[in-house]
Structure 1
Amino acid sequence: MFDREGLSATTNRIAARAGYSVGSLYQYFADKTALLEALATRHVDEAAGAVRAILVEARTDPPSLDQLMASLVDAIIASHDDRRGLHAIMHRTASRTGAAARRVERFEAETVPEIAFHLVRAGRGAPDPALAASAIVTGIDGYLHRVFLVTGDRAEFHRVVGGLVDLHAPASSRTSETTESS
């Protein structure tokens, strides 16, 4: 209902669509905002799980940086491609405060060092791989929620992420570990 109707979806229509009475809905959710928060929290957990799985695998069987970023973008797209209207609403409303926001913060705090690790592994991201990784992660999040959810253009999303990596971690940058071993 949120995907089709946006924030104008009422709890009465949401409950009817789910096959419940509005009273039953209110037993679990105080209002529409609480329902959105629960949906956003579940979404963040699912998306984070998909990204974590890719990053864990990349530690044991390291792909090229381009392959890693493509896999991450594919996972992000997969977790957002259905019900893009709902995802846009969750991003604008529910994910700003509460459990979803805290989970996003934790997820970013885990993801940025992992991306920095892979930048260093690829000899990129100098002089500050953590800052480069933070800029890349932030750029991906912004493009995802401000552009991809509107356009749905997968190929452009991949090009944008490649550009973010090239901008913030150019191939000519070398970390001290890579330079010393050369």
Structure 2
Amino acid sequence: MASGARAQYENIWRGLLAPLLAEARTWSLRDFHSPNLLWLPEREGARRIGLLDFQDCVLGPPAYDVVSLLQDARVDVPDDLELKLLGHYARARKQAQPEFDMAAFACAYALMGAQRSSKILGIFARLDKRDGKPNYLAHIPRVKNYLRKNLGHPVMADLKNWFDAAMPQIFANEDQEAAT
């Protein structure tokens, strides 16, 4: 195993993502969240929902866009609503694909949620420091909360341990607030 915190982080992610990337992929918009959805009342059914910002669409794990929507970096999504919508998604998938494995999907959801949250934290910090856009910092507590929640899944134990050892300050404020 490579040494250094960065190499450890990369190795942990390689191990986590390898099985997921070997599974079936679907189109992933990668920026699928409420500000990129349009309500088109003149249309019927699912056609009432319009999409913006899909130019970076790639093939990826089905869980990625689901977590993008249900763990929106810019809008609070209450835990109970997230679970309700996740349950609705799982029922629809199971109806369409009887072999759908919700436990495997929950694992993929936690993985994609942690990956996305980690990425967004870096992007928002860069937008502040490099691009002089501090307004993104307002969303960091929400994204850190998503990261913490996703790290609670058992499959994420090694990554959670990495964050605890290499970046204990990332959750320091939340830990102090929870203790009071």
TM-score range, shorter chain: 0.3 to 0.5
The alignment's TM-score, normalised by the length of structure 2, stands at: 0.34
Comparing both structures, which one devotes a greater share of its residues to helix? 1
Larger RCO (CA within 8 A; separation ≥ 6): 1
Give the number of the structure whose residues are more often strand, by fraction: 2
